[in-house]
Amino acid sequence: MYAVETRSLSKVYRNGLKAVDEISIKIEEGEIFGFLGPNGAGKSTTIMILTTLLKPTSGMAYVAGFDVVTQAKQVRQNIGYVQQDSTVDEYLTGRENLQLQARLNHMPKNSVNERIDEILDLVELSDRQHDAVVTYSGGMRKRLDIVGGLLHRPKVLFLDEPTLGLDIQTRYKIWDYIRKIHKEFGISIFLTTHYMEEADKLCDNISIIDHGKIKVTDSPKSLKNALGNEVVVFEVDSDLKLGDLLSELKKASLVKDVTAEGYEVTIFSPSGNQVMPKIFEIAGKLGIKIESITLTKPTLDDVFLSYTGRELREESNGYNRKKEREKMRRLRA
């Protein structure tokens, strides 16, 4: 059985927009799976179908082995869902919010308090549990949102953009809590994000989604490796003999491509580590001094770019797009 399985799942909204387009995914039990895509890609729509809040237009979806349409009740019993926007009541305390949620979920009274203690402890909110949520920081609210989804011991936890709008340090902390929850409870996690680093650091597997379609599914590592090339950029102290240096480098093994702009040279290679000493060796022979050198491995940013033709971070202008395409051409081995 899969934690989540969909077959050609689609959603067409009433206005005719196909927000989810023939999505097929399989998420193993115990996996942290990520949906990585830009604004409007269809991430929340997919999550709402999987959590039974929205009916699919066509296709099938199973969560914890249950059909989201015909067995919606069983699905709901087995999932936790943390929405993109916070749903807690600011004027209640952290603990009161969880108690309210437990009542709404018809959880047996006797076990609830113990469970609340356990999960508050897990995300280090015990100290502040009797304070009104209005006094919490963004990160604390998010932690409360997340544990709210864990109250009834779900098998699959859905997190829609768990760190949206939080600063970097807080985001890192939330990742730690998500890892801790995953380890402690052994649950499967389906999360959506448009932060590359989040998908990279947290997920066993990811699907890149754009305009409702899945472009590719794999582990972050395989996706990056598949691009093939690393990039070494170095700066020389003068352009004297630069032409000789470039032609020598072009002949070196493991060098795929060499370009120069002013005093800056860029090399594309499947193994930057092995090329770096060669650069010093050849430059040394020609009496050229290397002022600085950096090695960059492909990021999920580059992977996204290669599958969608644009950057995830922001819509870029024409100039950048041209540069991006050029970069991609070289990154692909």
Ligand X SMILES: Nc1ncnc2c1ncn2[C@@H]1O[C@H](COP(=O)(O)OP(=O)(O)OP(=O)(O)O)[C@@H](O)[C@H]1O
Residues forming contacts to Mg ion in the complex (CB under 5 A) are 43-44, 84
Pick between residue 47 and residue 227 the one whose CB is nearest to ligand X: 47
- Between CA 254 and CA 234 the distance in angstroms is 17
Pick between residue 52 and residue 193 the one whose CB is nearest to Mg ion: 193
Report in angstroms how near the CB of residue 35 gets to Mg ion at its nearest.
9
- Between CA 275 and CA 267 the distance in angstroms is 9
- Pick from 312, 315, 320, 324: nearest CA to 37: 312
β-sheet bridge partners, residue 296: 231
Report in angstroms how near the CB of residue 17 gets to ligand X at its nearest.
5
- Pick from 40, 35, 39, 37: nearest CA to 50: 35
Q: Binders of ligand X: how many residues, by CB under 6 A?
A: 14
Pick between residue 124 and residue 315 the one whose CB is nearest to Mg ion: 315
Q: Which stretch binds ligand X (CB under 6 A): 37-45, 108-116, 228-236, 285-293?
A: 37-45
Report in angstroms how near the CB of residue 37 gets to ligand X at its nearest.
5
β-sheet bridge partners, residue 210: 213
- Between CA 309 and CA 314 the distance in angstroms is 12
Pick between residue 43 and residue 95 the one whose CB is nearest to Mg ion: 43
Pick between residue 94 and residue 149 the one whose CB is nearest to ligand X: 149
Q: Which of 3, 32, 41, 276 binds ligand X (CB under 6 A)?
A: 41
Q: Which of 3, 6, 9, 37 binds ligand X (CB under 6 A)?
A: 37
Q: Which stretch binds ligand X (CB under 6 A): 32-40, 87-95, 170-178, 218-226?
A: 32-40
**By the rule CB under 6 A, 162 interacts with ligand X:** no
The beta strands (E) that lie in the chain are given as: 4-12, 18-27, 32-36, 58-63, 66-67, 79-82, 156-160, 188-193, 205-210, 213-218, 230-236, 257-261, 264-269, 290-296
Residue numbers at the binding site for ligand X (CB under 6 A): 13, 15, 17, 19, 37, 39-45, 84, 194
